[in-house]
Amino acid sequence: MAGFQVIEVKESIFAENDRQADALRQKLKGEQTFLLNLMSSPGAGKTTTLCRTIEALKDELRIGVMEADIDSDVDARTIDGTGVRAIQLHTGGMCHLDADMTKQGLEAFGTEELDLVVLENVGNLVCPAEFDTGAVKNAMILSVPEGHDKPLKYPLIFTVCDVLLINKIDVLPYFDFDMKKVTAYAKMRNPNIQIIPICAKTGEGIDAWADWLRQQVRDWQS
Amino acid sequence: MHELGIVFHVIKSVEEVGRQNCLSRVSAVTLEIGEVSGVVPSYLTDCWDWAVKKSDLLRGAELRTDLLPAVTHCDGCGQDYPTVAHGKTCPHCGSGDTWLLTGSELNIKEIEVPDPEPENSEIPQQIG
């Protein structure tokens, strides 16, 4: 009978990805390019928020956008309309981007001349949170119709995000969305999380968000 | 689809271990899965059986899963308790000042490598 040899590995499944993510961050630091990983559920308003953000910052920062989706290029076309450079990545059925896919995307895109690259991750609150993309900061959008209980249901994404945008605040009167509760639940998962209420449609709160982002880019470049 | 992404990462990592150890075949991989890692072992096995067909190193390899229990620590009273039964609230003192001690793990524990096939067709003598 054939024998077996057992090799102990004892390593987290995410360890290799974490190493690649750290290497990517170092490379971006050298190029003075800030990478933001933007996550949310499908339909929370990532692309609309991004268009507003670009309007607010495009005169001061050189911006590029990488759209990650399972299929189609509708988001990249929308971003293209704002006048900044956009690239569409297809994940080939995968529910998230990892550091290696992000690196390949950035290389194809060419980021040397850019101050800020926004990676619009696949719409999903579970998988993208588990894989470090190599971004400098993680941002998440939660929209009012989704409900204030999401930090309880999807704790990990709230733990890994530096900033939480509460979008669609114009419809607050029509939903049982409790701003105090969502703040308490999110802080329970991540005491350091910054929370900025916005409405991408009307532009309310975009200035505060643009200020936060501008400051992060400057800190990274200094 | 979530499990499929995890499986691709496991395969990549094991292939790397294979390169480092000059392996040509792996017959089994054992994962440690935390009880609250959000991974469903049966889905993982389904994805695994499909995905390993594409890997020369891992074709036909078995996936084994060890479940690690989830334990939460309470800063209020200093005691530990099982997470799944009680969630964020400590059953000993009622405090919500608690944090997950173990249970979110997703580790590759070990891989099993068959001894090399004998080069001639003779049946090797059994020793020991």
Residue B124 lies in a domain: no
Q: How many CB atoms lie within 10 A of CB B101?
A: 14
* Chain B residues with beta carbon closer than 8 angstroms to that of A4: 27, 112-115
A96 contacts B9? CB cut-off 8 A: no
Looking at this predicted complex, what is its ipTM?
0.75
Q: What is the 3-state secondary structure (H, E, C) of chain A?
A: CCCEEEEEEEEECCHHHHHHHHHHHHHHHHHCCEEEEEEECCCCCHHHHHHHHHHHHCCCCCEEEEEEECCCCHHHHHHHCCCCEEEEEECCCCCCCCHHHHHHHHHHHCCCCCCEEEEECCCCCCHHHHCCCCCCEEEEEEEHHHCCCHHHHCHHHHHHCCEEEEECHHHHHHCCCCHHHHHHHHHHHCCCCEEEECECCCCECHHHHHHHHHHHHHHHHC
* Number of domains into which chain B is organized: 1
Residue B121 within any structural domain of the chain: no
CATH of the domain at B60: 3.30.2320.50
pLDDT at A77: 83
Torsion (CA) A18, A20, A26, A29 in degrees, nearest 10: -90
* pLDDT band (50, 70, 90) for residue B117: low
Chain-chain contact of B107 with A13 (C-beta, under 8 angstroms)? yes
What confidence tier does B38 reach under pLDDT thresholds 50, 70, 90? confident
Name the one residue in this structure whose structure tokens are 């499944």: A13
Residues contacting residue A71 through CB under 8 Å, at least 6 positions apart: A90
Please tell me the predicted confidence (pLDDT) of residue B128: 46
Residue A6's H or E segment, with its range, is strand A4-12
Give yes or no for a contact between B107 and A12, defined as CB atoms under 8 angstroms apart. yes
Residue with tokens 């991750």: A121
Assess B100–A contact: CB distance below 8 Å, yes or no: no
A168 belongs to a structural domain: no
Distance between the two ends of chain A, CA-based, in angstroms? Answer: 64
Q: Classify residue A179: in a domain, yes or no.
A: no
Its domain, for residue B11, covers: 2-69+102-112
Counting Cβ atoms within 10 Å, is residue A170 exposed (0-12), middle (13-18) or buried (19+)?
Answer: middle
User: Would residue A155 count as lying in a domain?
Assistant: no
A189 in any annotated domain: no
| A124-158 per-position pLDDT tens digit | 888 888 889 999 999 999 999 999 999 988 888 99
From B8, B109, B114, residue closest to A4, measured CB to CB: B114
**Contact yes or no for B21 and A95 at CB 8 A:** no
The DSSP output letter for A120 is: E
Facing B13 at nearest CB: one of A2, A5, A11: A11
Which residue is closest to B27 within chain A, CA to CA?
A4
Tell me which chain A residues have a C-beta less than 8 angstroms from the C-beta of B125: none
pLDDT of residue B119: 58
Classified as helix, coil or strand, A72 is coil
Does residue B56 fall inside a structural domain? yes
Query: Tokens standing for A122?
Result: 């696949």
The pLDDT-based confidence of A217 (bands split at 50, 70, 90) is very high
Asked, for residue B33, whether it belongs to a domain, the answer is yes
Tokens of B73: 């620590």
Q: Is residue B93 part of a domain?
A: no
Count of domains for chain A: 1
Tens digits of residue pLDDT in B67-97? 999 999 999 999 999 999 998 889 999 998 8
Residue A28: phi and psi, rounded to 5, are -65, -35
Instruction: Say yes or no to pLDDT of A1 above 70.
Output: no
Considering the domain boundaries, does residue A208 fall inside one? yes
Q: Which of B12, B13, B68, B83 to mutate to test the interface with A (most CBs of A within 10 A)?
A: B13
A46: nearest Cα among A110, A142, A135? A142
- Residue A121 sits in a domain whose CATH number is 3.40.50.300
In a domain, residue B79? The reply is no
Closest C-alpha to B106, from A131, A154, A38, A39: A131
- Residue B49 counted as domain residue: yes
Task: Kindly report the nearest CA distance between residue A2 and chain B, in angstroms.
Answer: 6
Does residue A67 sit within a domain? Answer: yes
